[in-house]
Amino acid sequence: MSKIILTGDRPTGRLHVGHYVGSLRRRVELQNSGEFDKIFIMIADAQALTDNADNPEKIRQNVIEVALDYLSVGLDPAKSNLFIQSQISELTELSFFYMNLVTVSRLQRNPTVKAEIQMRNFEASIPVGFFTYPISQASDITAFKATTVPVGEDQLPMLEQTKEIVRKFNSVYGEVLVEPEILLPDNEACLRLPGTDGKAKMSKSLGNCIYLSDTEEDVRAKIMSMYTDPDHIKITDPGKIEGNTVFTYLDAFSKPEHFAEFLPEYNNLDELKEHYKRGGLGDVKVKKFLNNVLQDELAPIRARRAEFEKDIPEVYNILKKGSDVAREAAAETLAEVKRAMKINYFEDKALIEEQSEKYSR
C-alpha cells in the first residue's frame, strides 16, 4: 500500500513555533526521508471560514502568509503538494455523504470542538459548519487516502472521528477508504506547546504566540517577558520546572550542541534544570539561553522567507499547481465513493439494462 501524508493548517494567522514543533518540523523530516509516495499539505481556508464567516478578508490575507511559512521551513513543492482546500470541491461532496454516517451526539462529545466552542463563545449559537468540521476533516484525510497524519495532540479526536467514518463507510458500502494513523510529536513538550503567557496552548486565537516570521527583536522581547515560576523571586530561591514555560520551550527546542555553543558551564538541560530547582540560577540567564537557541532555529527560516517574499506570484503559482494535483487525487476517490454508494447512474450499464428490461415486459 502507498504511504501518503495529509496534513494542514487554518489560514487564521501566520504560523507560530507551536505549529513548528507540533507538526511542521516533522513534516519536513518526513518529506526529506523519501519514505512517502505522496505528500499533501493543505491550507484549510474552508475550515477557517467555519468560525470566521463574517471575516473572509482575514482568511484571504493569511493564505499567502501560511504558504510563505511552509516554504520558509523547508517544505519543497517538488516533493510536497501545497494546496488550498476550497479549490477542491470534491472535498465538500465527500462531507455531504459522510454526514449520514455520524450522529449529532457523537459530534457533541468531541473534546477539542467542545473547548473551541467555549473559547469562541459559541455556546448559544454554534454555526453548523463549525460544529461539523470534524466531518470535513475526515473528507480531507480520506480524499487522499492518507495513511499518515502528522499533527499536534489537539487533533487526536479528529483522527478518531475519521477512523470511525472510514470503518462505517467500508462496512456499509465496501472497502474503499483507508484508515489513517496519527503521528504525534515524540517529545512531550511538543504535543501542545504552551503560549508565552503560560496558557495551555499557543494559539493564534489567544494572542500568545511567537511567530516563525517574527523579527529577531520581537522574539527576544517575547522571550524576556515570558511566564516562568511566579514564586521564583530572588535568584537564590529554589525554582519550579513544571509549568515553567521557559523550560518547556527548552525541552522543545534545545539540542545538546546548544550548550557547548551558548552555555558551556552546563553539559545538558538536566544540569540546568537541577541548578534552577536548587536555587541560584536567575530567570534572565535561562531566558537569554532560550533566546540564543530559538534564534538559531529561526534565523534560517526567516532568511528563506525573505527570498520567497520577493516573488509572490510564484508562490500563488505553486499553490495552483498543488491544487491541480490534489483535485485529481480527490476526484479519483470521490468516483470510487460514488461507485460504492451506487450513485454512479450513468456509468452503470447493468442498472440501465435492468430498468429497461423491467419496462419492456
Residue 22 engages ligand ATP in binding (rule: CB under 6 A)? yes
18 part of the interface to ligand ATP, by CB under 6 A: yes
Residue 44 or 281: the one with the smaller Cβ distance to ligand ATP is: 44
Asked if residue 23 binds ligand ATP (CB under 6 A), the reply is yes
Q: Do residues 231 and 240 touch, judged by C-beta distance below 8 A?
A: yes
The verdict on 74 binding ligand ATP (CB under 6 A) reads no
Nearer to ligand ATP, 281 or 326 (CB): 326
Nearest in space to 277 (alpha carbons), one of 242, 309, 301: 242
**CA dihedral sign of residues 248, 283, 209, 72:** negative
b/e per residue 173-199 (b: at least 16 CB within 10 A): beebbbbbebbbbeeebbbbbbbbebe
Segment holding 330, helix H or strand E? helix 312-340
Q: Using the rule CB under 6 A, is 19 a contact of ligand ATP?
A: yes
Asked if 2 and 136 count as a contact pair (C-beta separation under 8 A), the reply is: no
* Closest CA relative to residue 103, chosen from 35, 161, 176: 161
- Strands 81-84 and 148-150, by their bridges, are unpaired
Helix, strand, coil tally for the chain in percent (to 5):
60, 5, 35
The stretch among 6-14, 130-138, 273-281, 315-323 that binds ligand ATP (CB under 6 A) is 6-14
- Binding residues for ligand ATP restricted to 185-204, rule: CB under 6 A: 192-193, 201-204
Measured from the CB atom, is 14 or 220 closer to ligand ATP? 14
Q: Are 194 and 201 in contact (CB under 8 A)?
A: yes
The residue among 192 and 222 lying less far from ligand ATP, judged by its C-beta, is 192
Which residue's Cβ has the minimum distance to ligand ATP? 22
Residue 136 as a binder of ligand ATP (CB under 6 A): the answer is no
Among positions 5, 10, 30, 291, the unique one binding ligand ATP when judged by CB under 6 A: 10
Is position 210 an interface residue for ligand ATP (rule: CB under 6 A)?
no
Q: Does 251 bind ligand ATP (CB under 6 A)?
A: no
Nearer to ligand ATP, 147 or 203 (CB): 203
Query: d(Cα 54, Cα 30) in Å, to the nearest integer?
Result: 36
Confirm or reject binding of residue 151 to ligand ATP (CB under 6 A). yes
For binding to ligand ATP (CB under 6 A), which residues are involved?
A: 9-10, 12, 18-19, 22-23, 151-152, 154-155, 192-193, 201-205
